[in-house]
Structure 1
C-alpha cells in the first residue's frame, strides 16, 4: 500500500468540478484508491463518495493506493492533485 497526504489549495475546497476530475482520473488507475478525511473514507472512483467528504481548503486528505501498479498510480495521483486541487 502506498499513501500520501495532500492539502487542498482550491479556495472553495473539493467541490463538484475538481471532485469530478479526481474521480475520472482515479477511474483510469488500476489500483484501488481511498481518500480519508477526519475519520471518513471515500472511494476515489465514486463521485458521490468523494463529494460526501465535504473537503474544504487547507484540509489534509490522505490517499491510500493499493494494487499491482500502486507506485505508478500513487506518483500520477500526486501530480494530478498538485495541478488540479
Structure 2
C-alpha cells in the first residue's frame, strides 16, 4: 500500500472537468485508488465519489493506492494532481 498527500491549489477546487479527468487517469490502473479529505473517503475511479468530497482550494487530499501497479499509479496520480489541481 502506498499513499501521499496533496494540497489542492486550483482556485475552483475539484469541479466537474478535472474530476472527470482524474477518474479517467485512475481507471488506467488495476490498483484500488481512494481519495480522502478529512472524514470523507471516495473511490477515485467513480466520479460521484470524487465530486462528493467537495475538495476546495487549500484542502488536503490523501491518496491511498493498493494493488499490483500501485507504484506506477502513485507516480501518475501525483503528476496528474500537480498538473491539473
Query: Equivalents in 2 of 1:83, 1:30: separation in Å?
Result: 22
Query: Equivalents in 2 of 1:30, 1:56: separation in Å?
Result: 28
Q: How many residues align?
A: 85
Query: Who is 2:28 aligned against?
Result: 28
Deviations 1:35-69 (A, max 9, x none): 00011100000000100000000100000000011
User: Alpha carbon RMSD of aligned pairs, Å?
Assistant: 0.6
Secondary structure, aligned partner of 2:3: strand
Shift of residue 72 of structure 1? 1.2
Query: Who is 2:55 aligned against?
Result: 55
Query: Equivalents in 2 of 1:49, 1:15: separation in Å?
Result: 12
Q: Which runs of 5+ in 1 are unaligned?
A: none
